[in-house]
């Protein structure tokens, strides 16, 4: 704007323009600082009003506790604990605010009763006290320790009472100090994100906001203890359709009978659980969703009932919720279900998959064996692999151990068959075929089991090639013609006959001997 050739008048205009921009920036900064100051004043006023209201609520609780101790003494005691804990933490935050003003050299105007908002623009007061590099100083750590202690103390007062579950969740959200991602996606600590680099008035306002959260916590707790809070909004979105069958098992041809109700699952740990007159260990029976796992001996065959009690703590008193249910006991199984996953025969030397199970019997109580030199091993629940060896038959025995230690035995006989002969192939063809010399010279000698039920991948490692009028040549260690065989093919006249036989095959992972592949007979076309 102030080039070397500009006139004196133009230079003056440019300078005034720069001053004007700077003044606008200063005014904007002052407006922002004033806005924080107004917010701080609002929070302070709210804290004052809430303190008065909370004092009245606490006095009411204490009075009710004295008049009706059975109903309110327990709640009044908790309210006084919350008040004392909150008051200590509120005063601690106040010391942080006083220290910030003192360090920054700020004071309240005696005439207006206000802070000098527009002058509180320093950003290094808390930066130097609470932060050092990417870590917190001792003073910064002390702030986080104080907040965590306040949270822990309040939650300890509320305990595990089911009635306070929602209040605890709201309290956790209000004082959540988890790391936060900034606009660039970088995760920063809660104290760093909220206080580092901010002007003094902004930090001061945020501390007052924490005090406001303390007062709001007191108010919500006192109202909760008085029973003035509204229960969770009754909306169908909070419910699920739950099917309640009249019994837990139905027989073929029987009509299903039951009910569908709307309900909610309560993730609340009870203080006591008893089923059919027996007390259950809570630490072992309750899962993360609040569901209780039942484990007891069933009765005789027929319909049986479940009778029990859930006991929760509410208002310092035990609250019992009855457990009512039923189930059906079916007769014990006396036979196993054994099925070959491939065919009604098994193949020698191969991994033959079998499914073996007893209806109603856990897999770990079923023992399976096979006769002779064949082997059988378990691969997963109900799944086994049988490897037949010598002989023509394999007898599978399955023994189930029932709950009363009685044994149920079932057997199944399978025929053992050998692996079928593969077919030799060249250029994708097998049997008697016609090929030109180039195809014979460049193609692999392969083997194929055709439509065999097992997907075996055979590889050829040796074969003989015989050309009419020439001496047979053995090719070893490969599945293509070697130099001698290729030279013999090149010399062969048109329409010569070439036989590829003695094709030796192996299959990876198969211990049994693989039969030689069927020969390929080729008539040369050139």
**CA dist 155 → 165, 188, 410, 505 (Å):** 10, 26, 59, 74
Question: Of 204-218, 260-274, 475-489, 495-509, which gets the smallest average pLDDT?
Answer: 260-274
- Give the three-state DSSP class for 280: coil
**Per-residue model confidence (pLDDT) at position 136:** 92
For the chain, the domains span 14-226, 236-329, 336-417, 423-524
The closest of 206, 195, 54 to 124, measured between CA atoms, is: 195
What is the spatial distance between Cα 254 and Cα 256, in angstroms, rounded to a whole number? 7
245: tokens are 């069958």
User: What is the tens place of the pLDDT at every residue in 310-334?
Assistant: 777 665 677 777 877 766 666 566 6
Q: Which fold has domain 336-417?
A: Immunoglobulin-like (2.60.40)
Report pLDDT digits (tens) over 460-502.
Answer: 999 999 998 888 999 999 999 999 999 999 998 888 999 999 9
**Per-residue pLDDT, 5:** 57
Judge contact between 320 and 310, C-beta under 8 A: yes
Residues 339-374 have pLDDT tens digits of 666 667 888 888 889 988 887 677 888 999 999 889
- Count the Cβ atoms, other than its own, within 10 Å of residue 91: 10
Question: What does the pLDDT average to over 453-466?
Answer: 91
Query: Facing residues of 417 across strands?
Result: 347
In angstroms, what is the C-alpha Rg of the chain?
A: 43
Tell me the pLDDT band of 27, cut-offs 50, 70 and 90.
Answer: very low
pLDDT at 290: 62
Three-state SS at 292: strand
| Helices (runs of H) and strands (runs of E) counted in the chain | 10, 25
Q: With a cut of 90, say whether residue 154 has pLDDT above it.
A: yes
Region of poorest pLDDT, from 160-164, 411-415, 424-428: 160-164
Q: Is the dihedral of CA 58, 59, 62, 63 positive or negative?
A: negative
Is residue 125 predicted with pLDDT exceeding 70? yes
Measured distance CA(292)–CA(274) in Å, rounded: 10
Closest CA to 83 of 47, 54, 44: 54
Per the CB < 8 A criterion, the answer to whether 524 and 436 are in contact is yes
């Amino acid at each position: 704007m102030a080039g070397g050739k500009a006139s004196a008048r133009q230079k003056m205009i440019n300078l005034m323009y720069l001053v004007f921009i700077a003044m606008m920036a200063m005014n904007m900064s002052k407006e922002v600082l004033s806005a924080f100051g107004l917010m701080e004043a609002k929070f302070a006023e709210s804290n004052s009003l809430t303190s008065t209201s909370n004092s009245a609520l606490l006095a009411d609780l204490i009075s009710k506790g004295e008049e009706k101790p059975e109903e309110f003494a327990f709640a009044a005691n908790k309210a006084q604990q919350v008040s004392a804990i909150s008051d200590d933490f509120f005063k601690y935050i106040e010391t942080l605010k006083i220290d910030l003003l003192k360090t920054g050299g700020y004071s309240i105007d005696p005439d207006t009763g206000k802070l000098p908002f527009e002058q509180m623009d320093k950003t290094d007061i808390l930066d130097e006290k609470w932060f050092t590099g990417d870590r917190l100083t001792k003073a910064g750590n002390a702030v986080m320790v104080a907040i965590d202690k306040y949270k822990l103390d309040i939650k300890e007062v509320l305990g595990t009472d089911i009635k306070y579950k929602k209040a605890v969740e709201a309290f956790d959200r209000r004082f959540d100090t988890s790391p936060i991602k900034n606009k660039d996606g970088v995760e920063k600590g809660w104290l760093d994100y909220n206080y580092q680099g901010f002007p003094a008035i902004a930090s001061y306002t945020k501390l007052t906001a924490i005090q406001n959260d303390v007062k709001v916590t007191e108010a919500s707790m006192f109202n909760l203890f008085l029973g003035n809070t509204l229960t969770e909004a009754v909306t169908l979105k909070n419910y699920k359709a739950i099917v309640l069958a009249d019994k837990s098992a139905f027989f073929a041809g029987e009509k299903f009978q039951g009910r569908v109700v709307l309900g909610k699952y309560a993730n609340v740990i009870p203080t006591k659980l008893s089923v059919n007159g027996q007390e259950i260990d809570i630490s072992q029976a309750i899962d993360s969703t609040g569901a209780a796992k039942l484990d007891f001996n069933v009765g005789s065959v027929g319909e049986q009932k479940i009778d029990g009690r859930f006991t929760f703590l509410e208002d310092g008193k035990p609250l019992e919720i009855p457990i009512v249910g039923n189930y059906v006991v079916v007769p014990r199984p006396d036979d196993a279900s054994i099925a070959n996953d491939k065919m009604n025969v098994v193949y020698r030397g191969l991994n033959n998959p079998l499914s073996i199970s007893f209806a109603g019997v856990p897999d770990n109580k079923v023992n399976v064996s096979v006769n002779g030199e064949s082997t059988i091993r378990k691969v997963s629940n109900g799944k086994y692999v049988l490897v037949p060896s010598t002989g023509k038959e394999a007898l599978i025995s399955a023994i189930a151990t029932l709950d009363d230690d009685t044994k149920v035995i079932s057997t199944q006989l399978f025929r053992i068959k050998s692996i079928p002969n593969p077919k030799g192939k060249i250029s994708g063809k097998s049997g008697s075929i016609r090929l030109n010399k180039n195809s014979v010279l460049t193609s692999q000698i392969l083997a194929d089991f055709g439509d065999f039920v097992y997907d075996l991948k055979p590889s050829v490692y040796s074969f003989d090639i015989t050309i009419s009028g020439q001496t047979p040549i053995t090719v070893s260690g490969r599945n293509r013609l070697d130099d001698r065989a290729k030279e013999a093919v090149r010399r062969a006249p048109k329409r010569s006959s070439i036989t590829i036989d003695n094709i030796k095959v192996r299959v990876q992972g198969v211990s049994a001997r693989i039969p030689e592949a069927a020969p390929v007979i080729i008539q040369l076309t050139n």
